[in-house]
Structure 1
Amino acid sequence: MTDFAHDPTGRASLDGARGLAPARLGIGLAQGVILYLLYRAAAQAEGPAWPATQPPLFAALVLAATFTPVMLLAGVGRLGWKTLALWGVVAATVLALLGWHDAAHQASDYFRPPYLRFPVVAFAAAALFIAHHLIFPAVAARRWIADFDDYFDTAWKAGVQLVLSLGFTGAFWLLLFLGAALFRVIGLSFLADLIGEAWFSIPVTCLVFATAVQLTDVRSGLIRGVRTVALMLLSWLLLVITVLVAGFLAALPFTGLEGLWKTGSATALVLSAAASLIILINTAYQDGRADNLPPVVLRVAVRVAAVLLTPLILIAVWCLSLRIGQHGLTPDRIIASACAVVGAVYAAGYGWAALSPFLRKTAWMKPLERTNVVSAVLTVGIILALFSPLADPARLSVADQTARLKRGAVSAADFDYAFLRFGAGKAGRAALADLARSSDAEIVRRAKAAQAATSRYEVKQAAVPPRTPTVTAWPEGATLPPAFLAPTAAGDPRYACGGQNDCLAVQRDLNGDGRDEILLASSYSIALFAQDDDDRWVHQGDYQVSYCPGPGSELRDLREALKRPDLEAAASAWPDLRLGAETGRFQPKAGCPPQHAAVNP
């Protein structure tokens, strides 16, 4: 392993890392070109081209090309070239496998490039960051486990460097947009056109980010200074969150947990509070060296916060267990359970660190260091398990939900078929197909309706039992076809006809084909029904009626308007447009004649 040689001012010496800047710029440019080629394959006007036509392959390439170069930028000059190349191949392979698995197990009707779900992208980035900063100090120390201060120094420095580099890239683009606006004012649009081109914007963004990483590395002493200031400011926020969490826990015996359950996101709130405590505890503890000890008030806050983690995690676990017991597993609950497991390790380790000085003689919060390393390794392992076949949340959720249905824990009417159809990928659709072959007629009916649905709303509507509409025929004494009055499903305009929302229907031959259509009016709309080739009455569309206020005008009930003897079909003022295989329907602009104010004599 090699590292930078730094002079006393903190400036990087190229004697220890020749060619460092060209290497980083080369990595950034290569990343930009690869991402542009992937974008071009997905954004073809005539449709996606290879490899975008292969979702698993495309997702694998996108995930690997997005994050592996960032890791390489951080490792250049710190890891030996052979070590860096080996680690890069391993990281790219793991990222590609995660992307492949995510895309291969999706079954969305709106499956579009890059074929990746947000949780996979976010957790993959987190796992790579943690793994890199576990490996780098260990390789530097030539040991399996490095000293904690090395982990702290590399991880927090890299975090600050990442934030500054992203900020630099964002500022660069703000200046480009400002320049484009200035040129546009004087009638020159070349810069605005240029930054709108993907072949320019994608490679330049990656190149500018790589430049920012290089610039922040050259002034590593300044990065450490920024990190010191940031940690100092954040550490004092520990007092605020400790007081708030302590007050929350103290109030619970008097208020009860009912308010927490009503939020519907109790577990997420409590785990977020626990995560905040963990982060801020580390900003106060830093590397644990004697010369970095915080003031007494912060040392007390660290111990109190470390103890408060345990009741927070217990509340989160309780919330999760209740929800899972009532409604079964879902992908979100499985991910939350994994977070709770990591939180429990932190709570146990930090609690022991806070109380150990009272049980045996140890340095202040010293066990925290081992807890951080163990938790980091556990976090990487859990992320890899969750987004791989080992513990795929969708597969586990589908198995649990269908098992609950089969053993009667949830009724066929209350079961969430939409989750299987739209929220559980191929595993969910396979389970839905299995339910469609069930011996239970109600399960079969609902499963088949879900299979035919194109949205969650349709699944919900299909679950509502059919209802016989109440429709009055006009003129008085007229009768409507029995097939028109048959029970209808939710979503059909006839379904709302009943009770206080009675409907009025009139039969007319509106298009002159010798067959009557039916106009169905409620107080606010008129729907058109016509018979198809199977003599079923099908909803064709609705008539929009504009109301124009003015003298002598009043808003009328459309059921009364339908009774008018002068009701007749009227030709459209403007024809439709034939656009090849498609037809453009003219939609008239809703407008009213101008109202002229009366002039007093």
Structure 2
Amino acid sequence: MTETLQHDTGRTGLGGASALFAIRLATGLVQGLALYLLYLAADSRVWPETQPVVFGALALAAGYVPVVVLAGVGRVKALALILWAAAAAGVLALLGAHDVARQVLKPHEEPPFLSFPVLAFGAAALFIAHHLIVPAIRERRWIVDYPDYFDIAWKAGVQLALSLGFTGAFWILLHLGAALFKMIGLGFLQHLLSEAWFAIPVTALVFATAVQLTDVRDGLIRGVRTVALMLLSWLLLVITVLVGGFLLALPFTGLDGLWETRSATALVLSAAAALIVLINTAYQDGRADNLPPVVLRYGVRAASVLIAPLIVLAAFGLALRIGQHGLTSDRIIAAACTLVGAVYGAGYLLAAVKPGGWMKPLERTNVAAAVLSVLVILALFSPLADPARLSVQDQVARLQRGMVSADTFDYDFLRFESGKAGEKALRRLAASTDPRIARNARAAQARPWPSGDTAQGRQERKAAIRLKAVDGQSVPTSFVDQLDAQVDVLFSCNAETPCVVRSLDLNGDGRTDLLVATAREIVAFDQDSQGQWRVTGRYGFTCGRNAERMNEGLSKGVATTPAALPDLVVEGQRLRASPEVRCDATEPR
């Protein structure tokens, strides 16, 4: 611990601080430029956006790995930091690639995309792994003394919170200044803040600056941490009384009310997590000269006993739901959290009842649970234990065993909620020898939206659509009446960004066609002989254009030009060309 403090304070001299500042600013700049280039690729639909798996890998790595560098520079040697950052980049890239690869990317969505769970759990795994690895590198031991883990991890947590707060405050002030200038007719700053080439790199630079500013004031950070831990530790008494009262009341109230919430497992696990965090704010580094007051020591013991019954309750509720309805992705993730919670529950219970050395088993429990958490997250968001694949296998097995009838089986889960694994299983069911299963599976394959997407839900989405005609034109009443058939195409047309609509005869047939500028493209509609509006074509944005500029451009006017390449007829089949678009100096941007 002494060596750690000497290392941190010894590097804050003028020369060291200047070098660290330069490295962190460079890291922030590289991250900002990388993220902006990825944004530009997605907006312009050029590589790597054209290969979603590659894009997902690059996006997750570019978003998180620079934070490893910001946190590790000055704390470990350069070579060790480079190797650790490279390893983290490789793992994150694999997680991002797998997350996108398992999804079904629909044309009307914003591909490529990373799911929220991989973003959240990936960040958690990286934070935990970083603060297991950095102390090990510095001490050249696999397992270091617990005070070292505590000091580095909690200090980094405070730095992260302050840095995020600083970045948020920076943007609040910029928008305030932009609003002031806007009041006097100067909108340049507001326009600048909306430009991605400015916003993304500046955000990364400001965050890197905040990390440096908090790092060079080491004593201040430790002081803030001490105050924060002291305040939070007293909240432990509150949650202990509440959870204790809840558990004591259960024998009298029964569990029916708990299960009726349909979120009992998540609530109980959240309570257990709150207890774990607050216990650690009171225990801190566990040194004999840093013991909390007597009342908090009793509170820590009582709270540690309460975690185990909460985990048992969560496991029981989860087992009931799985037994009744089978596995889903959410239930698999909940089961993984329950497994980690069981380690905490057993370890903290042992620490609370074991005599001698106040709560010492807690330290080994925290380290073991941290390692397990990282391993579980890596398994969940890789092919090893992909929740979508496992849940699809379980649901199909339940159908085949007769636990679910062919008519009540949730085919929409396979079609819309479980990615490629679900679509693959649905294709197998469509070829089933059971005629009811095959019929229902084929019906699900043909549906453009979930059957659970009720008429009310689609009406709400339809009501949210906003269209704006230009040049004195009006949106045809027949088109408005048929909007329910275009909900999935016009999903981005809302009150905040209404889509511009222009009427004209595109093909010279004497009938009115419509052009609608959506978030990703300009969509062409015409009416068939029965008066039904249908999509006849899509004009993709190129060369860095975005929806706002397309809306503005379509408002001013539109012209048509002859096709650059004619259609081909090969053996009676008409083939249409997809010309290459080159964004050179002659291409207007």
Shorter-chain TM-score: which interval? 0.7 to 0.9
Specify the alignment match of 2:257 in structure 1: 259
Superposed displacement of residue 193, structure 1: 1.2
SS at match of 1:410: coil
How does 1:470-509 map onto structure 2 within 5 Å?
A: none
CA gap of 1:108–1:14, structure 2 versus 1, over 3 A, is: same
CA gap of 1:441–1:459, structure 2 versus 1, over 3 A, is: farther
CA gap of 1:459–1:177, structure 2 versus 1, over 3 A, is: closer
2:79 counterpart of 1:82: yes
- 1:127-149 deviations in whole A, cap 9, x for unaligned? 00000000011111110101100
Higher relative contact order (CA 8 A, sep 6+): 2
Superposed displacement of residue 16, structure 1: 4.8
How does 1:224-239 map onto structure 2 within 5 Å?
A: 224-239=222-237
CA gap of 1:270–1:458, structure 2 versus 1, over 3 A, is: closer
Specify the alignment match of 2:55 in structure 1: 58
Superposed displacement of residue 85, structure 1: 0.4
The one-letter amino acid of 1:23's match is I
Moved runs in structure 1, 4+ residues, more than 6 A? Answer: 2-8, 458-461, 539-542
- 1:181-201 deviations in whole A, cap 9, x for unaligned? 111122111111111111011
Superposed displacement of residue 156, structure 1: 0.4
Question: Aligned residue pairs: how many?
Answer: 471
CA gap of 1:176–1:139, structure 2 versus 1, over 3 A, is: same
Percent of counterpart pairs with the same letter?
67
Q: 1:428 aligns with which of 411, 416, 422?
A: 422
User: What is the CA–CA distance in structure 1 between the aligned matches of 2:232 and 2:482, rounded to whole Å?
Assistant: 62
CA gap of 1:180–1:345, structure 2 versus 1, over 3 A, is: same
Q: Note if contact 2:56-2:100 (Cα within 8 Å) is conserved in structure 1.
A: yes
Q: 2:218 aligns with which of 215, 220, 239?
A: 220
Unaligned segments of structure 1, at least 5 residues: 462-490, 492-527, 529-538, 543-574, 588-601
Q: 1:375 aligns with which of 369, 379, 397?
A: 369
Unaligned segments of structure 2, at least 5 residues: 459-477, 485-509, 516-523, 534-589
Q: Note if contact 1:3-1:77 (Cα within 8 Å) is conserved in structure 2.
A: no
TM-score normalised by L of structure 1: 0.75
- 1:358-397 deviations in whole A, cap 9, x for unaligned? xxxx210001000000000000000000000100001110
User: What is the CA–CA distance in structure 1 between the aligned matches of 2:344 and 2:80, rounded to whole Å?
Assistant: 31
Specify the alignment match of 1:500 in structure 2: none
Q: Note if contact 2:4-2:148 (Cα within 8 Å) is conserved in structure 1.
A: no
User: What is the CA–CA distance in structure 1 between the aligned matches of 2:126 and 2:294, rounded to whole Å?
Assistant: 36
SS at match of 1:582: strand
Specify the alignment match of 1:32 in structure 2: 32
Residues 438-447 or 202-211, more deviating: 438-447
Superposed displacement of residue 247, structure 1: 0.3
Superposed displacement of residue 5, structure 1: 6.2
The one-letter amino acid of 1:13's match is G
Q: 1:295 aligns with which of 293, 296, 312?
A: 293
User: What is the CA–CA distance in structure 2 between the aligned matches of 1:118 and 1:66, rounded to whole Å?
Assistant: 14
Specify the alignment match of 1:387 in structure 2: 381
CA gap of 1:583–1:236, structure 2 versus 1, over 3 A, is: same
User: What is the CA–CA distance in structure 2 between the aligned matches of 1:287 and 1:577, rounded to whole Å?
Assistant: 74
SS at match of 1:455: coil
User: What is the CA–CA distance in structure 2 between the aligned matches of 1:578 and 1:376, rounded to whole Å?
Assistant: 60
Specify the alignment match of 2:447 in structure 1: 453
Specify the alignment match of 1:246 in structure 2: 244
How does 1:570-581 map onto structure 2 within 5 Å?
A: 577-579=512-514, 581=524
User: What is the CA–CA distance in structure 2 between the aligned matches of 1:147 and 1:15, rounded to whole Å?
Assistant: 31
2:106 counterpart of 1:106: no
2:442 counterpart of 1:444: no
Q: Note if contact 1:152-1:286 (Cα within 8 Å) is conserved in structure 2.
A: yes
Q: 1:169 aligns with which of 167, 181, 185?
A: 167
- 1:228-247 deviations in whole A, cap 9, x for unaligned? 00000000000000000000
CA gap of 1:541–1:317, structure 2 versus 1, over 3 A, is: closer
TM-score normalised by L of structure 2: 0.77
The one-letter amino acid of 1:156's match is W
Superposed displacement of residue 578, structure 1: 3.2
Superposed displacement of residue 314, structure 1: 0.4
User: What is the CA–CA distance in structure 1 between the aligned matches of 2:138 and 2:223, rounded to whole Å?
Assistant: 23
CA gap of 1:167–1:114, structure 2 versus 1, over 3 A, is: farther
SS at match of 2:282: helix
Q: Note if contact 2:105-2:112 (Cα within 8 Å) is conserved in structure 1.
A: no
User: What is the CA–CA distance in structure 1 between the aligned matches of 2:482 and 2:292, rounded to whole Å?
Assistant: 73
SS at match of 1:12: coil
The one-letter amino acid of 1:28's match is G
2:81 counterpart of 1:146: no
Q: Note if contact 1:59-1:99 (Cα within 8 Å) is conserved in structure 2.
A: yes
Q: Note if contact 2:105-2:111 (Cα within 8 Å) is conserved in structure 1.
A: no
SS at match of 2:513: strand
SS at match of 1:69: helix
How does 1:322-341 map onto structure 2 within 5 Å?
A: 322-341=320-339
CA gap of 1:365–1:172, structure 2 versus 1, over 3 A, is: same
Specify the alignment match of 1:208 in structure 2: 206
The one-letter amino acid of 2:410's match is D
SS at match of 1:23: helix
2:4 counterpart of 1:69: no
SS at match of 2:359: coil
Q: Note if contact 1:3-1:78 (Cα within 8 Å) is conserved in structure 2.
A: no
User: What is the CA–CA distance in structure 1 between the aligned matches of 2:52 and 2:401, rounded to whole Å?
Assistant: 36
Q: Which has the higher helix share?
A: 2
Alpha-carbon RMSD across the aligned residues, in angstroms, is 2.5
- 1:143-183 deviations in whole A, cap 9, x for unaligned? 01011000000000000000000000011111111111111
Specify the alignment match of 1:13 in structure 2: 13
User: What is the CA–CA distance in structure 1 between the aligned matches of 2:75 and 2:11, rounded to whole Å?
Assistant: 15
User: What is the CA–CA distance in structure 2 between the aligned matches of 1:37 and 1:130, rounded to whole Å?
Assistant: 29
